[in-house]
């Protein structure tokens, strides 16, 4: 016999890959139950119809109900809706008084003009932009714990921010930073398109949205909050022939006086106590070490001094659907509900 869990969650937008990961974590969560799963697809069908690994693990079915109906009686609403759709739905949840964790980009930015420039639409509820706490626990854990609404970061944003946060806090970021990041096909969502269909990209590498990706402004906003207000980000994303994972390579120019010991101390101080960020000591970060888990890896290589400068190459790796998406949303939910943030997230990924 199973025991009823004390806390209830609604998953809204339940058929995508992010929702699958949230539901997987909720099904094994000892304290939070998924009460309803709202979707306009697979209505009336069990979870396994959209997410085969969840077949037979729950009596839940997909329901075509409003966000208010889905979240009624719940402690938290987990939103897995697309960008530009979420903003239309949040006001009715705000009226309900439920806590919200949103995975879209609609409430990550505080500046409505920046949102409109990168997302191409007028924000329907700009007054709510400042009400959401940016959900990167490694930067804002205390604020997340007391938050009513949290905007979970984007996948590229999380991986780049974790790579650069220790340097931002130390005042070592200034001027242009060049970043390239490779990502898996699952980041494009469950619906295939000509440029994202895996059979096409499986044997291919290609860049897209160079210098214009919509995660750019949230990265800049986060680095400014951490102590680097004058950074210029030159970010080029790359579509990679794998399903899960992001590998970031960032190039930072630092003074020649910055040595390896100082950089090691900065990263160790930033992440030694973080439950989901690790710095491997015998290798550089790699996707296979974190895929399928909520863990992220960071590492660096410091080049030789030349003309008074050094190139510091910082690398990070994570699973775009978990630490870069739904796992981080569950981590934020745990913090908001006063639970151990690692609950249902501490399992390592498979190897190889």
- The pLDDT tens digits for 207-231 are 999 999 999 999 999 999 999 999 9
Residue 45 in 3-state DSSP?
coil
Q: Are strands 246-255 and 175-183 parallel, antiparallel or unpaired?
A: antiparallel
Distance, in Å, from the CA atom of 298 to the CA atom of 285, rounded to the nearest integer, reads 6
Distance, in Å, from the CA atom of 208 to the CA atom of 178, rounded to the nearest integer, reads 15
Q: Which helix (H) or strand (E) holds 177?
A: strand 175-183
> Catalytic: which of 136, 155, 284, 329?
155
Q: Using CB atoms within 10 A of its CB, is residue 328 exposed (0-12), middle (13-18) or buried (19+)?
A: buried
Asked: is 156-320 a CATH 3.30.70.360 domain? The reply is: no
Q: What is the pLDDT of residues 69-124, one digit of tens each?
A: 999 999 999 999 999 999 999 999 999 999 999 999 999 999 999 999 999 999 99
What ranges in the chain are assigned the alpha helix state H? 17-27, 67-71, 86-96, 112-119, 137-145, 155-169, 198-201, 216-226, 260-271, 327-336
What per-residue confidence (pLDDT) applies to 192?
A: 67
Residue 38 in 3-state DSSP?
strand
Look up tokens 């890896």; give the residue. 297
Q: 155 catalytic, yes or no?
A: yes
How is residue 90 written in tokens? 């949040």
Look up tokens 């989901």; give the residue. 276
Q: Which of 249, 333, 240, 345 is nearest to 292 (CA)?
A: 345
In sequence order, what are the beta bridge partners of 235?
179
- The parts of the chain modelled with pLDDT lower than 50 are 1
Q: How far is CA 270 from the centre of its chain?
A: 19
Query: Cα 152–265–177 angle (5° rounding)?
Result: 55
What per-residue confidence (pLDDT) applies to 94?
A: 94
What per-residue confidence (pLDDT) applies to 1?
A: 37
Distance, in Å, from the CA atom of 337 to the CA atom of 161, rounded to the nearest integer, reads 25
Instruction: Give φ, ψ of 212 to 5 degrees.
Output: -130, 10
Distance, in Å, from the CA atom of 277 to the CA atom of 296, rounded to the nearest integer, reads 5
CB 63 within 8 A of CB 84: no
Where do the structural domains in the chain lie, given as residue ranges? 7-131, 156-320
Top-level CATH class of 7-131?
alpha beta
What DSSP character marks residue 253?
E
What per-residue confidence (pLDDT) applies to 6?
A: 94
Distance, in Å, from the CA atom of 318 to the CA atom of 272, rounded to the nearest integer, reads 17
């Amino acid at each position: 016999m199973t025991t009823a869990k004390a806390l209830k969650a609604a998953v809204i937008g339940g058929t995508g890959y992010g929702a699958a990961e949230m539901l997987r974590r909720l099904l094994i969560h000892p304290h939070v139950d998924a009460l309803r799963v709202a979707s306009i697809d697979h209505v009336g069908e069990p979870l396994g119809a959209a997410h085969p690994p969840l077949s037979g693990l729950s009596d839940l079915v997909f329901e075509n109900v409003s966000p208010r109906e889905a979240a009624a009686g719940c402690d938290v609403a987990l939103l897995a809706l697309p960008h530009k759709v979420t903003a239309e739905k949040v006001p009715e949840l705000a009226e309900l008084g439920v806590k919200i964790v949103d995975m879209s980009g609609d409430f990550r930015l505080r500046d409505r003009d920046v949102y409109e420039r990168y997302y191409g639409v007028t924000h329907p509820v700009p007054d709510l932009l400042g009400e959401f706490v940016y959900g990167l626990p490694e930067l804002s854990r205390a604020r997340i714990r007391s938050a009513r609404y949290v905007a979970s970061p984007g996948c590229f944003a999380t991986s780049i921010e974790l790579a650069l946060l220790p340097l931002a806090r130390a005042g070592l970021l200034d001027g242009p930073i060049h970043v390239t990041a490779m990502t898996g096909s699952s980041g494009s969502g469950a619906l295939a398109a000509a440029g994202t269909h895996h059979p096409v990209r499986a044997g291919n590498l290609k860049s897209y949205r160079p210098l214009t990706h919509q995660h750019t402004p949230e990265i800049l906003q986060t680095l400014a909050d951490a102590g680097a207000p004058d950074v210029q980000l030159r970010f080029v994303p790359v579509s990679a022939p794998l399903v899960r994972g992001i590998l970031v390579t960032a190039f930072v120019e630092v003074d020649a006086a910055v040595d390896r010991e100082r950089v090691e101390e900065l990263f160790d101080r930033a992440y030694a106590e973080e439950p989901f960020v690790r710095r491997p000591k015998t290798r550089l970060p790699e996707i296979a070490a974190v895929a399928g888990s909520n863990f992220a890896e960071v590492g660096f290589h410091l080049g030789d001094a030349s003309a008074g400068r050094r190139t510091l190459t910082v690398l990070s790796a994570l699973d775009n659907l978990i630490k870069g998406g739904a796992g981080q949303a569950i981590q934020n939910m745990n913090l908001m509900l006063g639970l151990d943030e690692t609950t249902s997230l501490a399992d390592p990924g498979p190897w190889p």
